[in-house]
Structure 1
Amino acid sequence: MSYRGTNNGFNGVPAMNQQQQQQQSGFDYNSAQNRAFNAVNNGSNNHSANGNNGSFMTKLQKTLDQMNTFAEDLTDKPFVKKLQPYIPGLARFFIVATFYEDSIRLFTQWSDQVFFLHKWKHYPRWFVVCFLVLVTLVMSVGSTFLVLRKQTNYATASLCACIIVQGLVYGLFTGSSFILRNFSVIGGLLIAFSDSIVQNKTTFGMLPELQDKSQKFKGYLLLAGRILIVLMFVGFAFSKSWFTVILTLSGTVCFAIGYKTKLASLLLGLILVVYNLSLNNYWLHTDSKRDFLRYEFYQNLSIIGGLLLVTNTGAGDYSVDSKKKIY
């Protein structure tokens, strides 16, 4: 049996005490103990310093989580639950509001539109009349179909085509603000179209699908729509105060990648609502500035509709929020 004693030496020889062992071996036990103690303390201090470096990110993450929880809990409020069935329809109406406004403007200012395109842009009169009639009908009918979720693929394609064709005919693609704003409107249209896609439950033979292709397509549409919507905020943010710049850029990045999407949608929507009501108040003007402000107001309203719809549909499969649920 092996030796297990602590106070006796091996084979009956008394064990040396600690001081005798140190003297014989030349090893200073107390010094070694102090060095070990200091090393442990230094390690703890270094860990604490690293923790302080990461404390800002930890606090930021905690704050974002709390704000996102508030945004999520907001949908559980009784008054929100009563409104929730109407939110998608209201959001789709906001998205197409700019097309309704444009149709009404073309109809009420018909002579001015014909004069501008015929005399200033030098298009043939027959082409101008046919173009204005066609665009007015397409925008009115396409917007109505999109609101009612009827033939949404044709409605979305026709409204996107109206944006591009009008920009070319009127020569509006020279301004970066126009391009970014209208790309954002197209993003809202894509989000509205994705909302109309219903997930297929069965395939041939009544067997469940392992991977729903319609949901995959919907995820791509939502991703494209989110990226296009935030383009308008690129030029919008840098012309405002530094506080608005920080909030807007933070919201656009989170919205584009689909991180804390509901919170980002509400934040960007709130900023745009305040800006729209305070600066694009066309109802207070009677001069030529009225038309310009009304145009911007309804285009911003379309973007607000896209943001509102995302709060209801979510960011889709291709987003950080979706990946966090999986992993």
Structure 2
Amino acid sequence: MSSRISIARPQGPSYSPDPHGIGNSRPSSGYRAADPDDPLEKIRAYSKQIEDNVEIWSQPARPHLPAVGRFLIVVTFLEDSLRIVTQWSDQLWYLQKHRHFPWGISHTFLLLNVITMLVGSGAVIAKKQTEFAVAGLLAVVIIQGFGYGLIFDLNFFLRNLSVIGGLFMVFSDAMVSRKKLFAGLPSLSENDRRKYFLLAGRVLLIFLFLGFVLQGSWSFGRMILSIVGLAACTMVAVGFKAKWSASFLVIVLSVFNVFANNWWSVHSAHPARDFLKYDFFQTLSIVGGLILLVNMGPGGLSVDEKKKNF
């Protein structure tokens, strides 16, 4: 009799074996993962796919990026020390005639600059006593600004802010390896300091491009480049797609540097040659800072890092 009893199915929505979509057959990345009706999701999927490809293809170069970045950051100091030595008499004449340095003080000023730049640059490249090397090179940037009377020159000021940003990136890179020395101690404060140095480095690095926007004559091409470059600078500053935007700025600044600061095409007796040479090597230093940013990432105080927590 029990076989005659039929169990009535409840009326209502149809039964789904996977109500939460856990067994979704769509791939987790790429174009097919996007909702075909949501263009923003398509863009995000394409962006993620490109990021993955860039990450794969850049793997062979990644072990060399820190060394290349550190060398480029200090290359402006190496060039400056060489220029002081090869133009020693001209440098003394300028300091004594225009900056009113007493005899002897001008010699000491130049000698201390050369020694600090050479020793500090060598230490940064070799990753030896990096903290003291960065402090010495920072002191050179500040002292030269006052010594040569360029501290109130807007172009000089913005460029040197970017150089300081590159030095902060070197210091942040050194803090990564320094944590190993204190493995048995709490490292929270060390990590926090590194976050703030990375943030300061990111923000300061973009000032070179701001200087480029503020000077020179305007054209349609320059306007487009400025808009795109400022967007990339903003992304670097806030740490959104920081590796992408930093890589873009590396390419743009490198191309711009070769064509705009081509000092090698100017006659050696022309006064503009030294200025172009100075700008060329300073831009290389800022490119080095951006390369370190590409290698290390934007750090904890960034949109990219916050997105990982959600």
Does residue 1:70 correspond to 2:50, yes or no?
Answer: yes
Counterpart of 2:109 in structure 1 is 131
Counterpart of 2:274 in structure 1 is 291
Counterpart of 1:218 in structure 2 is 194
Does residue 1:326 correspond to 2:309, yes or no?
Answer: yes
Counterpart of 1:178 in structure 2 is 156
Find the aligned partners of 2:104 and 2:41 in 1 and give their Cα distance.
Answer: 61
Matches within 5 A, 1:113-128: 113-128=91-106
Provide TM-score, normalisation by structure 2: 0.80
Q: In structure 2, do the counterparts of structure 1 residues 59 and 295 end up closer, same or farther at CA, with 3 Å as the change threshold?
A: farther
Q: In structure 2, do the counterparts of structure 1 residues 149 and 314 end up closer, same or farther at CA, with 3 Å as the change threshold?
A: same
Matches within 5 A, 1:189-208: 189-197=167-175, 198=177, 199-200=179-180, 202-204=183-185
Q: For 1:311, which of 289, 294, 307 is the aligned residue? A: 294
Find the aligned partners of 2:292 and 2:235 in 1 and give their Cα distance.
Answer: 16
Tell me the alpha carbon deviations over residues 203-246 of structure 1, each in whole angstroms, 9 at most, x when there is no partner.
Answer: 35xxxx4x632222111100000011112211213556221022
Q: In structure 2, do the counterparts of structure 1 residues 73 and 216 end up closer, same or farther at CA, with 3 Å as the change threshold?
A: farther
- Post-superposition shift, 1:63? 3.9
Find the aligned partners of 2:68 and 2:168 in 1 and give their Cα distance.
Answer: 16
Q: Work out whether residues 173 and 296 of structure 2, in 8 Å CA contact, stay in contact via their aligned partners in 1.
A: yes
Q: Work out whether residues 130 and 171 of structure 2, in 8 Å CA contact, stay in contact via their aligned partners in 1.
A: yes
Matches within 5 A, 1:1-327: 59=39, 62-63=42-43, 66-67=46-47, 69-77=49-57, 80-197=58-175, 198=177, 199-200=179-180, 202-204=183-185, 209=186, 212-238=188-214, 239=216, 241-286=222-267, 287-327=270-310
Find the aligned partners of 2:277 and 2:70 in 1 and give their Cα distance.
Answer: 19
Q: In structure 2, do the counterparts of structure 1 residues 60 and 174 end up closer, same or farther at CA, with 3 Å as the change threshold?
A: farther
What amino acid maps onto 1:310 in structure 2?
L
Q: Work out whether residues 68 and 260 of structure 1, in 8 Å CA contact, stay in contact via their aligned partners in 2.
A: no
Tell me the alpha carbon deviations over residues 248-268 of structure 1, each in whole angstroms, 9 at most, x when there is no partner.
Answer: 111011000000011110111
What amino acid maps onto 2:236 in structure 1?
F
Find the aligned partners of 2:51 and 2:79 in 1 and give their Cα distance.
Answer: 32
Q: Work out whether residues 134 and 167 of structure 2, in 8 Å CA contact, stay in contact via their aligned partners in 1.
A: yes
- Post-superposition shift, 1:155? 0.5
* 1:186 aligned counterpart, secondary structure: helix
Q: Work out whether residues 239 and 302 of structure 2, in 8 Å CA contact, stay in contact via their aligned partners in 1.
A: yes
Q: In structure 2, do the counterparts of structure 1 residues 68 and 249 end up closer, same or farther at CA, with 3 Å as the change threshold?
A: farther
* Identity score, percent: 39
Find the aligned partners of 1:120 and 1:65 in 2 and give their Cα distance.
Answer: 60
Unaligned runs of 5+ in 1: 1-57
- Alpha-carbon RMSD across the aligned residues, in angstroms, is 1.8
Higher helix share: 1
Provide TM-score, normalisation by structure 1: 0.76
* 1:174 aligned counterpart, secondary structure: coil
Higher Rg = 1
Task: Return 127-136 or 237-246, whichever deviates more.
Answer: 237-246
Unaligned runs of 5+ in 2: 1-37
Find the aligned partners of 2:41 and 2:111 in 1 and give their Cα distance.
Answer: 54
Q: Work out whether residues 68 and 263 of structure 1, in 8 Å CA contact, stay in contact via their aligned partners in 2.
A: no
Q: Work out whether residues 131 and 174 of structure 2, in 8 Å CA contact, stay in contact via their aligned partners in 1.
A: no
